[in-house]
Amino acid sequence: MRYNKIRKMDISNGPGIRISIFVQGCTFNCKNCFNPETHDFNSGEKFTKDTINSILELCSKEYISGLSILGGEPLHPKNIQEVTLLAKEFKQKYPNKTLWVWSGFEFEMLKNKEILNYIDVLVDGQYVDDLHNPKLKWCGSSNQRVIDVIKSLKNDKIILLEE
Ligand code: SF4
């Protein structure tokens, strides 16, 4: 896997001050995508064990609320294995910090994926330009859902995050 950038202090993608990583590679090609530079799977930097270690180290700061994983498409078959490893190691090390993931794949399509066990909040669905709404806090278009994954798995139905 490759990644586009890591932000060491992100206040726009999830609550509090967060570490965020934008992975490289997406095939959805949503109209007016806000991150076209992340579409190419071959661009950006190589994601290695050292990358995981440095992200985990950045997350150790007390003022960091959690980790956000965006793209690109973190859950594309070419990326999901390494993103799952990152998610697992993050949650093992910081069970009280939150993991937020943005994906064009819908929750229903991800049901049997291991990564769901580590995610607190999944913002799902592709960006639909005709449904763009600038008032939405964590997503770009009204078809996208901000899902409380822990509650959804427990209740076997989609439960949106209460804020
Ligand atoms: S899923 Fe996200 S990164 Fe991929 S094209 Fe759509 S908006 Fe862009």
pLDDT at 50 over 90: yes
- Average of pLDDT values for 115-137? 98
- Average of pLDDT values for 95-116? 97
Nearest CA to ligand 1 atom 6: 30
30 alpha carbon – ligand 1 mean position (Å): 5
Q: How confident is the model at residue 122 (pLDDT cuts 50, 70, 90)?
A: very high
- Average of pLDDT values for 55-82? 98
Q: How confident is the model at residue 79 (pLDDT cuts 50, 70, 90)?
A: very high
Q: What is the percent of the chain where pLDDT is above 70? A: 100
- Average of pLDDT values for 136-160? 97
- Average of pLDDT values for 74-96? 98
Domains of the chain are 2-155 (3.20.20.70)
Would the CB of 35 count as within 6 Å of ligand 1? Answer: yes
The overall average pLDDT reported for the chain is 97
Tell me, yes or no, if the pTM score tops 0.95. yes
pLDDT at 70 over 90: yes
62 alpha carbon – ligand 1 mean position (Å): 31
As a whole number of angstroms, the distance between CA 149 and CA 146 comes to 9
Q: How much is the pLDDT for 40?
A: 98
pLDDT at 133 over 90: yes
pLDDT at 111 over 90: no
Choice from 13, 20, 29, 35 to test ligand 1 binding pocket (greatest atom count within 8 A of CB): 35
pLDDT at 163 over 90: no
User: Which residues have CB under 8 Å from 15's CB, separation 6+?
Assistant: 65, 66, 98
Q: How much is the pLDDT for 147?
A: 98
The dihedral formed by the CA atoms of 112, 68, 13 and 5, expressed in degrees to the nearest 10 = -120
